[in-house]
Amino acid sequence: MKVTLNRNAFLAELATVQRAISSKTTIPILTGVKIVLSDEGLALTGSNADISIETFLPVTDEKAEMHIETTGAIVLQARFFNEIIRKLPENHLSLEVLSNNQVSITSGKAAFTVNGLDAESYPHLPVIDEKNQLKLPVRVLNKLINETTFAVSMHESRPILTGVHFVLNSSELLAVATDSHRLSQRVIPVEQAIEDFNIVIPGKSLLELSKSFKDEEELVEISIMENQVLFKTANMYFYSRLLEGNYPDTNRLIPTSFNTEIEFQVPELLSAIDRASLLSHEGRNNIVKLSISPDSVILYGNSPEIGNVEEALSYKNVQGEALDISFNPDYMKAALKAFGEGEIVVKFISAIRPFTLEPTDTETAFVQLITPVRTN
């Protein structure tokens, strides 16, 4: 294998596969990046127990300025390799596999010789049947990930809740996540005639996936096998394992009739909650109190040691019964961040029943649920 190419184009690919490479793995070859040079271009692969990423830099990509002398393959220790490439003196570099899996990396007057591993011993990625593919713009999938993944559980006591539940049902795709204290559910229309599916993807995989995309306007093709999902774009294959087990039936958790409703601007409510949480974070229970009456909506935060805060909230509209309700402000902050800049309606039943948050724009099928904290 011998090739010269543009350093920055190569670094961008390395950065992507590096998301899947952990230095903590117990399988030594997985600390490496697999490099395969064919007549078509350069494929890089990184992998860990949860995800695998394969990128392809085509020889036809002008930015890559790639000149292939001989094809071949090698595995190089990823962290060092990346550091070395990053610090090379010139904008171009040459890679050449010498004997005994040694690799020469040269740029300007600097000549590195590093020890590699035989590419044949790198594990094979799963083969996924690409017949039943859901196609979505990257932008749409990224939004779905941002709107749900924050609500997955961080605890392994119920592993299935560490993932996002995706259900494709004839004409719509539902994504829902819950850690049993709060829930976020988004439904988007789908206009493709493909087989229904019902899978749970680890939240961590989705966050890495979202960061790995380079072009929001590209299409991503989603293919599912028994225990794997593949997200495929023009130059990237992103594999994730699926979580096994039955996801709880979350649909019955979402209430449909309410006694009190208020409309808020998201950014203003978010900054008030943020202020109140400064004090609640120091209290033992981390709760803030919302006191709703027909002519005022007041937020309270308190810490016995530091002090307290009280703020009359700006709201657009309040309807229904007066209510005092306490909740964890961190769940509220995360929920509000997922809505972005718009307006929401918050709907309550009582001080001890979960309340919902939805965009006032009723065309967006997006609902969040937060369980209040009993204070008496």
Contacts of residue 169, Cβ cutoff 8 Å, sequence gap at least 6: 196
99 vs 170, beta carbon nearer its own copies:
99
Which residue's CB is nearer to its own copies, number 312 or number 352? 312
Q: In degrees rounded to 5, what are phi and psi of residue 69?
A: -95, -50
Provide, rounded to whole angstroms, the least separation between the CB of residue 233 and its own copies: 32
- What gap in Å lies between CA 1 and CA 98, rounded to an integer? 8
Q: Does 275 bind its own copies (CB under 8 A)?
A: yes
Please identify which residue in 91, 102, 227, 285 interacts with its own copies, judged by CB under 8 A. Answer: 102
Nearer to its own copies among residue 245 and residue 304 (C-beta): 304
Structure tokens given for 286: 């981390």
Complex with its own copies: residue 7 or 241, whichever CB lies closer = 7
Residues 58-87 contacting its own copies, CB under 8 A: 77, 80, 83-84, 87
d(CA 239, CA 374): 42
CB of 184 to its own copies, least distance (A): 25
- Which long-range CB contacts under 8 A does 41-47 form with residues at least 24 apart? 41/66, 42/3, 42/5, 42/10, 42/13, 42/66, 44/13, 44/14, 44/16, 44/17, 45/17, 45/122, 45/125, 46/17, 46/18, 46/19, 46/20, 46/21, 46/78, 47/20, 47/21, 47/123, 47/125
The 300-329 contact track toward its own copies, x by CB under 8 A, reads -----xxxxxxxxxx---------------
Using CA atoms, how far apart are residues 102 and 93, in angstroms rounded to an integer?
A: 16
By CB under 8 A, residue 109 contacts its own copies: yes
Q: Of 67 and 281, which has the nearer Cβ to its own copies?
A: 281
Closest separation in Å from C-beta 30 to its own copies: 17
Strand partners, 140: none
φ, ψ for residue 175 (rounded to 5)? -125, 130
Q: How far apart are CA 204 and CA 192, in angstroms?
A: 27
Q: Closest CB to its own copies among 112 and 197? A: 112
Q: Which is nearer to its own copies, 7 or 181 (CB)?
A: 7
Map tokens 């989603």 to a residue: 222
Q: Does 98 bind its own copies (CB under 8 A)?
A: no
Instruction: Give the three-class secondary structure for 308.
Output: strand
Q: Is 89 in the site for its own copies (CB under 8 A)?
A: yes
- Of 11, 29, 114, 128, the residue at the interface with its own copies (CB under 8 A) is 114
**Minimum CB distance to its own copies, residue 309 (Å):** 5
Q: Give me the phi and psi of 201, to 5 degrees please.
A: -105, 130
Q: Say whether residue 330 binds its own copies (CB under 8 A).
A: no
First vs last C-alpha separation in the chain: 71
Shortest reach from residue 79's CB to its own copies, in Å: 10
CB of 280 to its own copies, least distance (A): 12
- Report d(CA 233, CA 12) in Å as an integer: 16
Least Å distance between CB 278 and its own copies? 5
d(CA 313, CA 292): 10
> Could you tell me which stretch among 34-42, 120-128, 150-158, 277-285 binds its own copies (CB under 8 A)?
277-285
Residue from 8, 70, 113, 360 binding its own copies (CB under 8 A) = 113
Tell me the C-alpha distance between 61 and 43, whole Å: 13
Give the integer Cα–Cα distance in Å for 347 and 368: 10
Instruction: Retrieve residue 322's tokens.
Output: 């007066």
Tell me the per-residue interface mask from 254 to 273 with its own copies, x by CB under 8 A, - otherwise.
Answer: -----------------xx-
Q: 160 or 278, CB closer to its own copies? A: 278
Minimum distance from CB of 319 to its own copies (Å)?
Answer: 22
CB of 325 to its own copies, least distance (A): 20
Q: Which residues bind its own copies (CB under 8 A)?
A: 77, 80, 83-84, 87-89, 102-103, 109-115, 271-272, 274-275, 278-279, 282, 305-314
